[in-house]
Each structure stands twice: as structure tokens, then as C-alpha cells.
Structure 1
């Protein structure tokens, strides 16, 4: 089964990646790193995944101005006018609004899938099938479609989606509720209930309906773009965004649109998924060695160690004894050692504290 020319992909690659600090740094975040030493960065692997079944000319990348050269260097296949470089960091709602406007300038009948650039997919064949089914659904329905995975563990670091009534097509259900990062007890209840799915962050809609939703819930984001008669070319749009993008709110698509809409669906997917944006997520999704340790592209001698995740620079040797359940990560001028359990909040707190006390050179 092949994709139609109306199917488009937007890769979101503008984040700072601070949840994987210190390996991911503001000046060189995780999506541009060959984190596992496989020869391709997370951004490149995301592009490769979609290019297998979608026209390369229909793949767009949203990033930050400070990362533009990384995108150009790592994805030379992507044309310059398919890269949207934001002048200031904002969350996903303004980014998606810009992508919708850019693509609809070329094809008002576009069907979109929006994807993060820091995920791992374990079954590419099932992924392709689920994505194509989802794109067909949003082509035929004015709806917002998320992609959900049945939880395999009580993971407090993920978002969750509660399914409601089943639609007339496949394993697609009306969404009853969203919950972001529940505590472990609720995550256990969600997993056992069979009603909740992990929110993969993959999101589909036809462009016309998505623009309508953005107008309804975030009118100040799109109205300024489309009220002007000046924008008729990519160059004019880029100039307009450079001037106006900083005025847009720092708000996520999930919070700004999905959680406010009554017409959101979730597809139960079976492609196998992991969020590679957090240390704990990587640990849970990666094959483990002796003692259930995960050693990522690093030179390590371990003794009496278990349940750790270790990531070091190429020129380092670590000798570790008696450590259980820790993150050990070093990059440049920072060594980070932290309990692995529920580490996402701790990483965020330490990054903020380090930036305040020690300055930007350490984040």
C-alpha cells in the first residue's frame, strides 16, 4: 500500500531536549545526536522511518533558528522551503500552526501527521500500516486523531489517553480524557483498566480541519498570518514569522487544541513504541545486559551493579562498583549521577538549578 500525494509529515525538531541532560545540551540537543552509536541521529531515523512509505517531498521539519544548520547538514534531502526555523523557542501549538499554513499554501487538501523527533518504533511494518490507516481516517473525517499504545508498565513519565466509544472504523475510539504524567499509583490503575493508552505524541488531521481548530482555540496564532494579504511566497512567510512568531503563546498542541476539542479520537496501535526523550524511558525500552544494566555506547567495567543506565563520552572509561538503580551520564563539563526512579522531574529541577547557579555553559 502506498501513500497518496496528499499525505504529509511534519517532524518537530526544535526542542532543547533537557530531559536527557547532560548528554543533550541546549546548543546540541538530543534529536541531532547519534545517541546509540548506530550511525544515524534521532532526527535522521525519524525521517528514514517516514521516507519508507511517504514521498520525501512531502516531509517537512520544524526547528529553531539556532538548530537550522544541524537540520540542513543531517537532512540534505529536505528542501530549504520545507524547513521552518522559528526565531524563538515556543511550544508545539504555534509550530504546528505555522506548518499548517506552509503546507496549505501548496496543497489545501493535505492530510498531516505531526511527529516528535525523539521516539523509537520497534515494528516499522505495523507503524506504516497504522499511519496509513490514520491518514485515511482523517481524510474522510473532520477529526483530530492521536495514536495510542497499550501500557506495558505503570510509567509516570508519559501522558495517557482514555478511550471512549468505538468509531465505525478499525481500532479507533472517541477520546474521553487526557492525563499528563500521573503518579505511579494512578499509572498502575490506568494500565490495569485497559481503558488508557500511552500518548505517543503522534497526531493526525486533515489540514483544513486542523486550521479550523486552531482558529477556534488559538485564534491569535493563525489570525495574524492569514489576515494579511502580503504573504504569497515562502520568503514573505519566513519574514513575517521572524517578526511575529515571538508574539505567539508558549503553549502545547495537546493543551491548546486537543484537550479543548470535542472531536478527538485515539487509534489503538501495535507498532511498539518508546519515548527516547527521558533517561527512564530509554532504560525501559532498551535491551539490558548483565545485572539489568543499560550501557549506551560507552566503555564501562561494572562490578556488583544492577538496574543502571550509563552514557559516557567516547574517550572515557568508567569503573563502577555497587551501584543499583542510577543514571550515570557525562557530557562535556557535566557529570550527572541520579536515582533513576521517576528521574524526569529531578532532571528538570537540576537543569534549572544549574542554569541559575552556574550559568548557561552547563546546560
Structure 2
């Protein structure tokens, strides 16, 4: 899944070049490239499908030259993750109705990739033998309102999900953390294609009807038009709300493998190498004085001199400079709205 805009990483992430195509962590590779290489050790290149926005097709092929144009499924408009998953699932159903399917965001960080692949292999084995919708769970380290939570029915490695709650408020998140029975939903799913299509038919019948039409049109002259109609008419809803919270055949494999969705500048700071004053800064070009616990992102060959900041985010690009306390990064959406109101989409 590679269609998001990544607004929480503005001004680095833009509509023209969103987060999944950036090397925000300074590894030398984009998030989507890391994701491809992570799974390429267990999935042949010809079996990959990337669902993205129309305008990012060329970027996908640039970052993953191993795949062909027909492996890039283009959404005419974003409608959240349920239509995205449906587009891929019904495409696979036509190409190989016996396929098993791994669904993953294109922009996550996984540090222990061998452990991760072993867990995915367990999920594939379980899904192949059961009518199961599998998700990968992560032990929570804090009460976070940005993740879905999974309550397990027992402490087995693979457990039937007792309750699936998408993005609770902070009070409920604290209760979940204290109970010890809840895990974060990583947003990574494994299932047989037939199983998820049956779930769409049962829980999201309008999506089933629309994407069954897409499936019938694949490979014909009507395909593009039918895809546009399906996305214009389908309800925007996440796979979590639409299916996972309702289904009674959801299972989870919990694991620890150094996972983060790297969803905010704060999480980038957490995973970045820091100097002796706890600043996450570029290796060159940044001169800090009396500055602590801050993160700085600069364009190549740019010089920054920063003095007297404590726990700040400083992001400089060719046309936008953002300076804000780390504690206020939830206001980035407000900053974007204000800039857009006064200047249009030029800087967005």
C-alpha cells in the first residue's frame, strides 16, 4: 500500500513526493525500497502488487525497477485502506484465485528483518490451513491513540482475536496498556485471497459489488473506466473499521522485531542516531549551540546554525522552513491548512 501523502512529515513530505519515496531516516534508501527488499527474500518479484495513486506510478517504477507496469495498480482517488485492499485482492482473485496475500504499508521501519520474515512465514502457514484473517501484533510501549488495538484470547503465539478496536481515545489506550491483554495492530495482514473476498462480500457488500466489476474488467478496454467508477462510488473506510472489527475469524501473531510505522517527526527522532546532547542532526552542515533534544532536517549542502533550542523540530526545504516544539507536532495539519489557505497548493 503506497498511496498516502504523508502529511505528518510536511514540509519534507509533499503531494509530489510523499513519505514512502523519501529517505527520511538517512539510510540511503527510500521506505518503499526497503519494503520491497524486505519481502523480496520470500516473494518473487513477479508476485508483487503495489497500489498507489495515479500520479505516483512512475515513482513506484523508479524505486522498484524489478516490477512491471501491470504490477502497479493505480487509484484515481484515495479512499482509505479497504478499497486499496479490495483492488489488490480482486485483481489477485482473477489472476490466481488460490493465492495467499500479504498486505503491508510501504513506509514502515523494521529493524530485525529475519525475525519478521519468520513471523510472516508462520502467518502464511496458518492462513493456508485455516479460513483466517491474520494480523501481526506488536507489544505496546505507551498509550498511543494512533494505532488499532488487538485484545488476545490467550497467550499462544497465534491467538484468536477477542476484540479489535481501531484508534481509541487516550483514556481507553491507557486502560488497554495497563491490562496487558492488548497489542498494537501493525497494519500488516496475511490471508488467503478467497478469505478476504468472502469477508468483503459479508461485511462490505457495496465494495464487493464494485470491485467484482473491476475484476471482470481487468485486461479489457473497460478496465480503466470501471476502476474510476468503483473508486468514485465506494465509501472511504479503513480495512480495520470495515472488516477486522466485525469479522469472527481474525487471528493475531504477536512478535517483537523492531517495528515502527515512523508516523511522525517524533518517531524519526526516536530512531535516529543522536549526538552527546541528544540532538538528531545531519552528519554535516549543522552547527548547534546550547541546543538539546532536537531534530534537524536540512537539504543537501545547506548550512544551519542553531542556538538555544530545547526539544524542537527544525525542517528546512528549498521553499519551506518549519520550526516548532516537538511537543506541538500534532499541529502540523493546522500549519498545512493555514499555508494552503493563504498560498494554495504550491508549498503543499
Query: Which TM bucket (shorter chain)?
Result: over 0.9
Given candidates 268, 291, 294, the residue that maps to 1:308 is 294
Matches within 5 A, 1:39-58: 39-58=28-47
Residue 260 of structure 1, CA deviation: 2.2
Give the corresponding residue for 1:209.
Answer: 195
Aligned-residue RMSD, C-alpha:
2.2
1:346 partnered with 2:331: yes
Residue 328 of structure 1, CA deviation: 0.9
Residue 108 of structure 1, CA deviation: 0.7
Residue 304 of structure 1, CA deviation: 1.9
Q: Which runs of 5+ in 1 are unaligned?
A: 1-11
Report the 3-state secondary structure (helix = DSSP H, G, I; strand = E; otherwise coil) of the residue aligned with 1:116. coil
CA contact (8 A) 1:81 1:234 kept: no
Q: What is the CA–CA distance in structure 2 between the aligned matches of 1:39 and 1:346, rounded to whole Å?
A: 29
Please list every run of at least 4 consecutive aligned residues from structure 1 whose deviation after the TM superposition is greater than 6 angstroms.
none
CA deviation digits over 1:111-138, x for unaligned, max 9? Answer: 1111111111010110110111111111
Give the corresponding residue for 1:259.
Answer: 245
1:218 partnered with 2:218: no
1:28 partnered with 2:17: yes
CA deviation digits over 1:224-277, x for unaligned, max 9? Answer: 332589525266434421343222222111112112223222221121101123
1:190 to 1:243, Cα distance in 2 relative to 1, 3 A: closer
1:176 partnered with 2:202: no
1:267 to 1:136, Cα distance in 2 relative to 1, 3 A: same
Report the 3-state secondary structure (helix = DSSP H, G, I; strand = E; otherwise coil) of the residue aligned with 1:89. coil
Report the 3-state secondary structure (helix = DSSP H, G, I; strand = E; otherwise coil) of the residue aligned with 1:361. coil
Report the 3-state secondary structure (helix = DSSP H, G, I; strand = E; otherwise coil) of the residue aligned with 1:159. coil
Q: What is the CA–CA distance in structure 1 between the aligned matches of 2:250 and 2:272, rounded to whole Å?
A: 32
TM (normalized to structure 1)? Answer: 0.89
Give the corresponding residue for 2:118.
Answer: 129
TM (normalized to structure 2)? Answer: 0.92
Given candidates 194, 197, 218, the residue that maps to 2:183 is 197
The structure with more strand, counted as a fraction of residues? 1
CA contact (8 A) 1:111 1:139 kept: yes
CA contact (8 A) 2:163 2:245 kept: no
Give the corresponding residue for 1:38.
Answer: 27
Give the corresponding residue for 1:71.
Answer: 60
1:50 to 1:236, Cα distance in 2 relative to 1, 3 A: farther
